[in-house]
Structure 1
Amino acid sequence: MTATRSRHRGTTRDPECEVVPPVREFPSCRAGWRRRSLVEFPSTTCWPGRHNAPMSSRLATIVISAVNPEAVADFWCAVLGWSIIEREHYGLTIGGAEASWPTIGIYAVPEAKAVKNRLHLDLRADGLSTSDELDRLLALGARRVDVGQPSDVDWVVLADPEGNEFCLLSEPVVEVSSA
């Protein structure tokens, strides 16, 4: 039995494994086009050395550290149309009404943010134009920030009330969905 080259991550996979789901090109905030799966990888997707082994992890929570978790939670709830779903002495968890994953956990830390995020969220306008969504985000307390992005990019880098960066991508959901 010989292994074949996979279209995903340059890995090899056993030809007896389940077929890799179709992919489609979607724009990314950072660099050109990246491949994104149109369907969730089934739990039996094969990866090297794991013939038909089930996936072991799913993204559950994105965590944001904050000096004032309530203010950051209020901001992200307003941005995403979510609500606070859990309160603990160390922070809060927010999520959508459908109780799906991932959620966002906002946890108290004593120090303010000091350097650029190593991970950030990319948002798309949904139900309104990107320009209107930018105005809405700014009215909610977001601010434009420069993290070294070129001046001719087609996304906007913003920060939440505590300085955590995120991007508003140029194409709204409806344009990407219909492409």
Structure 2
Amino acid sequence: MTLHWEQVVVDANDPVTLGRWWAEALGWVVVDDDDEEFEIRSAPERLPSILFIRVDDPRVVKNRLHLDFRPETGQAAEVDRLLALGARRADVGQGEQSWVVLADPEGNEFCVLSARH
């Protein structure tokens, strides 16, 4: 049996707003614009996707799973761009590291890595 990675599912209070934020942050396209399930992909026919689904309960603890991104333009410039889009810096106890922890508008943590050596 072989498994193929289809999507990452993100619980969201507002799937449309959060999905549009991530689409802009990643430069991805919207493939399903629904109030309850909002899906984005790097290209219309390309997987995996990120699917944002509506949940009513708020997130109360640190995410158990997060995404790491390695920018093409340099870490500092990418962090500045994401902060300007509405991300915020997050402290998850990481201390001084080579990566920067940010949170999206609903508080989901993600990391912006430094350049590969």
Per the normalisation by structure 2, the TM-score is 0.93
Q: Does 1:156 align with 2:85?
A: no
- Please state how far the C-alpha of 1:91 moved relative to its aligned partner: 1.2
Query: Against the structure 1 CA distance between its residues 110 and 136, is the aligned structure 2 distance closer, same or farther, given a 3 Å change threshold?
Result: same
Query: Structure 2, unaligned stretches of length 5 or more?
Result: none
**1:58 maps onto 2:43 in alignment:** no
Counterpart among 136, 141, 150 of residue 81 in structure 2? 136
Distance 1:138 1:60 in 2: 29
Deviation by residue 1:86-132 (Cα, 9 ceiling, x = unmatched): 13452111011252111000000001211111100001112x12111
The one-character-per-residue Cα deviations of 1:1-60 (angstroms, maximum 9, x if unpaired) are: xxxxxxxxxxxxxxxxxxxxxxxxxxxxxxxxxxxxxxxxxxxxxxxxxxxxxx521111
Unaligned runs of at least 5 residues, structure 1: 1-54
**1:154 touches 1:169 (CA, 8 Å); kept in 2?**
yes
Q: Please identify runs of 4+ aligned residues in structure 1 that moved more than 2 A.
A: 87-90
Query: Offset at 1:169?
Result: 0.4
CA distance in 1, matches of 2:112, 2:47: 21
Instruction: State the identity %.
Output: 44
Matches of 2:78 and 2:88 in 1, distance apart?
A: 13
Counterpart secondary structure, 1:62: strand
CA–CA distance in 1 between the matches of 2:64 and 2:7? Answer: 16
Which structure: larger Rg? 1
User: 2:52 is paired with a residue of what secondary structure?
Assistant: strand
* Contact 1:158–1:165 (8 Å) recurs in 2: yes
The answer (yes or no) to whether the contact 2:12–2:54 under 8 Å persists in 1 is: yes
**What is the Cα deviation at residue 75 of structure 1?**
1.1
Count of paired positions: 117
CA RMSD of aligned residues (A): 1.4
